């Protein structure tokens, strides 16, 4: 969910965009949400399940046509794929870009 999605949902309850954004960031800082930016200058937030931690990231798929973002939860990152590399540093996110089934 994006900040705009949340702000639109809360507007009917009198919550302004700045308050929504502050609260989303506070929840991310508290470890309740994962904050991701996929190269389009839009922060996306997703809930972190109980027992999960922010570092248990998973790959995302971004449709280059419609902008839909899908979590690739069934793709597991192994310890080997997440280890630090002297050449690249630490892998913190994997993003696949392409055309979703609806846009193909």
* β-bridge partners, 54: none
- Consult the annotation and say whether 63 binds a ligand: yes
- Consult the annotation and say whether 71 binds a ligand: no
Looking up residue 77, the CATH number of its domain turns out to be 3.30.1490
CA-wise closest residue to 46 among 33, 57, 29: 33
Write out the residue range of the structural domain in which residue 68 sits: 57-104
Percent of the chain with pLDDT strictly greater than 90: 38
Burial class (CB in 10 A: 0-12, 13-18, 19+), 33: buried
Domain shared by 30 and 15, yes or no: yes
- pTM more than 0.75: no
Q: What is the pLDDT of residue 28?
A: 92
Q: Determine the 3-state secondary structure of 78 from DSSP.
A: coil
Which of 56 and 3 is assigned the larger pLDDT? Answer: 3
Domain shared by 42 and 6, yes or no: yes
């Amino acid at each position: 969910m994006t900040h705009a999605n949340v702000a639109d949902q809360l507007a009917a309850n009198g919550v302004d965009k700045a308050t929504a954004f502050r609260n989303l960031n506070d929840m991310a800082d508290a470890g309740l949400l994962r904050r991701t930016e996929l190269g389009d200058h839009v922060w996306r937030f997703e809930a972190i399940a109980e027992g999960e931690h922010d570092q248990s990231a998973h790959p995302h798929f971004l449709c280059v046509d419609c902008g839909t973002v899908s979590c690739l939860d069934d793709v597991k990152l192994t310890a080997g794929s997440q280890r630090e590399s002297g050449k690249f540093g630490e892998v913190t996110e994997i993003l696949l870009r392409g055309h979703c089934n609806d846009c193909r």
